[in-house]
Amino acid sequence: MAEKFNAKKRKEFLEILKKGGTIVQACKAVGVSFPTVKKYREKNPKFNEKVQAYLDTQVEMVASALYKKALEGNVTAQIFFLVNRSQGRSWASEKWSNVNLIKADITSRKSETLNIINSLSEEDKKLLKEFGDRIMRLLRDRRGRPPKKLKEEQNPKLLN
């Protein structure tokens, strides 16, 4: 028996898209398969236009939010916006965008890490520093340098 994508289901489907849902989410919510909706869209241009309009609105809402974040100083948002909206300009070159996206990501992660570290108790900060020192010793040892002995009494918590 074929699925029924009746007027009631189509209306509910469009409402879900209007609220920001995806096509797959809307299909599941109204109880029809994706291929059924795809076929219906192909055979009904007016319905397809409505679906596409809601999807375009979702993209525009995200673009607006990205633009707002870029104006607020979010470097990653600024770079993403410029690279994707400025084809042919010098800042849209692949090399520039890759290098600067990496720099922006590092800067963002460094800031997030510092915020996390600053929220730690003094005891936790001390443990974190000792753990970091131990990791650095292990990395140094793997590069062929003679290992420094780590005494268990220095910090038994790190050796467990």
- Taking 80 as the threshold, does the pLDDT of residue 87 lie above it? no
User: What are the residue ranges spanned by the domains of the chain?
Assistant: 1-70, 73-119, 122-160
d(CA 73, CA 92): 19
Provide the pLDDT confidence category of residue 146 given band limits of 50, 70 and 90.
Answer: low
Report, as an integer, the average pLDDT of 112-136: 78
Closest CA to 29 of 53, 47, 5, 45: 5
User: Residue with structure tokens 């510092």?
Assistant: 114
d(CA 131, CA 133): 5
Residue 93 vs residue 31, higher pLDDT: 31
Residue pLDDT, tens place only, 44-77: 999 999 999 999 999 999 989 999 999 998 888 8
**pTM for this model (two decimals):** 0.52
